[in-house]
Amino acid sequence: MNRIGRIYSSIVFQNISIIIAAGILNILFGPHGWKPDAGMSQFIDPIYRYVLPLMLAYTGGKLYGGHSGGIVANVAMIGLIMASDMPMIIGAIIFSPPIGWLSAWLERRTQDYIPIGSELLIANLIDALLSIGLMLAGYYLVGSLMNDVLKHINSGLVMLVGSAWLPFLSLVIEPAKVMFLNNLINHGIVAPFGIQQARELGKSIIFLVEANPGPGFGVLLAYLMTSSKEEKPSIRGTAGIQLFGGIHEVYFPYILMNPALFIAVIAGGFTGISFFQIFNVGLVSTASPGSILLILFLAPQEDILIILAGVGLSAVVSCIIAHFILVRSHAKRSGSPMESLTLPLGEKEERPSIMILDEPPYSLSSIRHVTISCDGGMASSAMGAAILRRKVKEARLPNIQIEHRSIDDIPTETDLIIIQHQLKKRMNQMHQSTLIIGVNSLSNLLEYDDIVLLIKNRNQSY
């Protein structure tokens, strides 16, 4: 299920700019926008109804069937779109990967029977016939059923949003986020349903359920208040990245060091959702990354101050509880021979990730291709790649290719994989012959200094 969720998350994420584009049009010219304009708002519905489902279908088909699979899925989606009076966003996400796989399977099964010289002609003909067949099947067999399902889902969402159960989602979402499932939740689950609801109602509170930066920011504030003078600058930097940059992964290690802090983020999330629900606020599109600036930009004009207050309130609740937990933790440590708490972005006394470097078979080649990975291959890994590029440039190391990818999309030519150590075990199982370094935080500048030194030493030897 986790792999399926990551697939759906990847499909949505690769088209996030389309979703945000529709959101910008909505927030500027839609019924709840800054300057409602019927002429400009007429572009919003075609994006939701045609452009987004077709692009999602192409992306999902391409994942398993390459360009041909994407084309087949794109054409097939026309049948579902024409058979429904609702945007087939969820339908595109669900059906496009199997369609792409089917296209690739047919290509493999028929390639040995195609006469030499007619490969391209017959391959294109097969794709065309498959596209038409699936399009007609979607229109006559699946479309009406899917339309009814989506209507029931939309009705269920409306009931959930208005019920007392909505805040209890924080019991699942906040811990799951810290376990690095935040991208899966946001893009694989929240965004498709939120988009569907926003198209119907003009906005959706669902977009705020996962994106709210308040709970994590409150934990970082509590750390800031209980940390030493030397640790405060790095925590301030982390808090800024989390709140304004929208990269929530940077606070996850702080909670994993002290699991009792799960209580703080759950309480903060519960408070925020309850507050948003009481005042019936929402966003017009998904906030990715979950920056407070993007959240406020995508909020209807009349909801901005209330959303800001809700984020602040959730941060205060999270901070108070986290402060209490941290003070008790420090008190226990001061009365025992245990070492004091080492923060992820503070000075490191140990470098466990570097201890594997001299072990075979990892000392057999130079490092020319580096991949920084996180669960979704999105915010935190992109930030890490930017940091390492700067470090490599400052060290004047030539011919080093650095990119960021998801765990399931690591290039085979990669010489070095950098990942947060909580995800390292999963990566080891997938890439047993590649050097993998687990770091405490992908925003930790000190750990990148170690990695640059490693690359320099390794490449000087070859």
Q: Smallest Cα–Cα separation from 23: which of 303, 283, 211, 206? A: 283
With a cut of 90, say whether residue 86 has pLDDT above it. no
Where a domain ends, among 119, 146, 162?
162
Torsion of CA 389, 406, 131, 68, to 10 degrees: 40
Answer yes or no: do 127 and 2 share one domain: yes
Model pLDDT for residues 55-82, shown as the tens digit of each residue: 999 999 998 899 999 999 999 999 999 9
Is the residue at 179 inside a domain? no
Answer yes or no: do 4 and 98 share one domain: yes
Is the residue at 310 inside a domain? yes
Answer yes or no: do 280 and 152 share one domain: no
Answer yes or no: do 154 and 228 share one domain: no
With a cut of 90, say whether residue 341 has pLDDT above it. no
Answer yes or no: do 107 and 151 share one domain: yes
Q: In what order do the strands lie in the sheet with 435-439?
A: 401-406, 369-374, 416-420, 435-439
Where a domain ends, among 162, 196, 229?
162
Please report where in the chains the tokens 């294109």 appear, as a residue: 124
The arithmetic mean of pLDDT across residues 13-26, rounded, is 87
Q: How many domains does the chain have?
A: 3
Of 342-346, 419-423, 426-430, which gets the smallest average pLDDT? 342-346
Answer yes or no: do 408 and 377 share one domain: yes
Signed CA dihedral, 23, 26, 27, 29: sign only: positive
Model pLDDT for residues 293-340, shown as the tens digit of each residue: 999 999 998 899 999 999 999 999 999 999 999 998 876 655 443 333
The residue range of the domain holding 236 is 187-332
**Per-residue confidence band for 376, with pLDDT thresholds at 50, 70 and 90:** low
Catalytic center residues: 374
Answer yes or no: do 318 and 381 share one domain: no
Model pLDDT for residues 91-134, shown as the tens digit of each residue: 899 999 999 999 999 988 888 777 777 777 888 899 999 999 99
Answer yes or no: do 325 and 201 share one domain: yes
Higher-confidence residue of 9 and 54: namely 54
CATH of the domain at 397: 3.40.50.2300
Residue 61, Cβ density class (10 Å: 0-12 exposed, 13-18 middle, ≥19 buried): buried
Amino acid at 184: L
With a cut of 90, say whether residue 285 has pLDDT above it. no
Answer yes or no: do 360 and 305 share one domain: no
